[in-house]
Amino acid sequence: MSTAVVVTIFTVVRNRLSVLLIERSEKPFQGIWALPGGLLQPGETLDDAATRKLQEETGLQDVFLEQLYTFDNLAQTKTETTVAYFALIHDADAKLRQELEWKPEWFPLSTLKALAFDNQIILENAKDRLRSKLEYTNIAYSVLPESFTLSEMQHVYEAITEEPLDKRNFRKKIVSLGIVQETGRLKKQGAHRPAKLYKFMNRTQTVI
Amino acid sequence: MSTAVVVTIFTVVRNRLSVLLIERSEKPFQGIWALPGGLLQPGETLDDAATRKLQEETGLQDVFLEQLYTFDNLAQTKTETTVAYFALIHDADAKLRQELEWKPEWFPLSTLKALAFDNQIILENAKDRLRSKLEYTNIAYSVLPESFTLSEMQHVYEAITEEPLDKRNFRKKIVSLGIVQETGRLKKQGAHRPAKLYKFMNRTQTVI
DNA sequence: CCAAAAGTGTTCTGACTACACCCATGC
DNA sequence: GCATGGGTGTAGTCAGAACACTTTTGG
């Protein structure tokens, strides 16, 4: 009878919403991919444990991480309750653990196989919450670099919602919300017109 | 190291949003009002325990009840995690336990004193969630009788949001949402014009 | 006839949708 | 000069907000 945390870590890799999974090297569910998680350590709070897990797998701290839902009866182990968290990060900032066993890897949501335990349910839950929060908060900041173009930002929105967006309407809306600020200058990056760079006014979660 | 549930039970009594509290007859926090709650019993799921608590205090089953958030370090007892739930009920349906000790009672939110444990935080959390769900779901059905007038419904909305609403706009919106249906006939009830009665199309939670 | 609550429509404004062309660059 | 992605404006529609008077009843 103990408490565990599990963390659904999302990012956008090459315009695809992806989740961090770990191939289990022990029973139960040996060889099956699972969300990162584990038992609370003595003296640790739930938030502590989720923060630690996120840090262990990605090296990141001080990023978007929030509690999702609490499940019971996960699998047939003796864990009684599992508190699920979800995080959203900028993939270039993450340094994944490089180990032979329990190796973490990004998977686009569209390419998922069967997951261990009840992780599928947790993941669906996390995806719903992520999409819903994208609509009424600025959490997109979590998945973008410090400075970015509006096209990059639009691709993030499209990856998460899986809906194409109209370019002009998207830009009009983001600008009128006043959540980003034009910053610095144009940059040269390829065979096309240089883009304006923007940054978020707030790199903490705010309701918009 | 164990898991507890606590249930924030809301209703609207005489146009005031109210919550069910119990005066503790034992330490810790003896004599202080607290949200109903307790430890999980062996073999019980979280939902089971919350359902049982709700039933013990109000006699009700099959009403709106959902998980809210999971807290740790509640007070200095040895309980490790507390899973909070919230419920919304029609007060005339509830039959409160009538006991001398641990007696439950409705309190309008505006008249609250200090609460035991971290119940104040849980309550704020529950109130926020309730208000937010009122906006995008039909949960008002939970606090209304089978058949009701649009004025009664408006009073429920006003009690929960603590904002006055325009009568014409409210009615226009509710009717256009198609979540209620005119039913039966007028009724006579006092020194005023008889009102049309409505009922919800769905007495389960739906997103609107 | 008076008090009390029920019922009802119009106008204005702001947000969202749909939609097509020119621009700056690298090769 | 052409391919690539960046950048921009207008018109239509719909939902929400503001707002005041008449109706039915009981006493």
CB contact under 8 A, B69 and A72: no
pLDDT at B185: 77
Of B residues 148-167, those with CB within 7 angstroms of nucleic strand D are: 166-167
Residue in A3, A69, A73 closest to B81 by CB: A3
Q: Is A15 helix (H, G, I), strand (E, B) or coil?
A: coil
CA distances, B4 to each of A81, B64, B82, B152 (Å): 11, 20, 5, 36
8 Å CB contact between A157 and A180: no
The low-confidence residues of chain A, meaning pLDDT below 70, are 1, 74-79, 187-188
Distances (CA, A) of B208 to B3, B69, B162: 34, 23, 21
- Measure the CA–CA gap between A53 and A70, rounded to whole angstroms: 17
Cβ–Cβ contact B1 with A under 8 A: yes
Q: For B84-99, how does the pLDDT look when each residue is reduced to its tens digit (9 = 90+)?
A: 999 999 999 999 998 8
User: Residue B69 is nearest to which of A2, A3, A67, comparing CB atoms?
Assistant: A67
Residue B156, CB, less than 7 Å from strand C?
no
For residue A26, what are the contacts with CB-CB under 8 A and spacing of at least 6? none
Domains annotated for chain A, with CATH where assigned, are: 3-136 (3.90.79.10), 142-200 (1.10.10.10)
- Structural tokens at position B151: 């004025």
Q: Is B80 on the interface with A (CB under 8 A)?
A: yes
In the DSSP assignment, the letter for residue B27 is: S
The alpha-carbon gap from B183 to the nearest alpha carbon of chain A, in Å, equals: 35
Is B188 near strand C, with its CB below 7 A from some atom of it?
no
Crossing angle for the helix pair A167-177 and A150-161, to the nearest 10 degrees? 110
pTM: 0.95
Per-residue pLDDT band for B101 (boundaries 50, 70, 90) equals: confident
Report d(CA B187, CA B195) in Å as an integer.
Answer: 6
> Is the omega angle on the peptide bond into residue A42 within 30 degrees of 0, that is, cis?
no
Is A150 part of the contact surface with chain B (CB cutoff 8 Å)?
no
Contacts of B16 (CB under 8 A, 6+ apart): B108, B109, B110, B159
Integer Rg of chain A from CA: 18
Q: Where are the alpha helices (DSSP H) in chain B?
A: 46-58, 119-136, 150-161, 167-177
Q: What pLDDT does A147 receive?
A: 96
Conformational region of residue A62, where left means phi above 0, alpha means psi within -120 to 50, and beta covers everything else:
left
B46 interface with A at CB cutoff 8 Å:
yes
Q: What is the pLDDT of residues A64-76, one digit of tens each?
A: 999 999 999 755 5
pLDDT, residue B1, reads: 62
Q: What is the structure's pLDDT at A100?
A: 82
CA distances from B95 to B18, B20, B65, B108 (A): 15, 12, 17, 18
Nearest to A80 among B3, B69, B73 (CB): B3
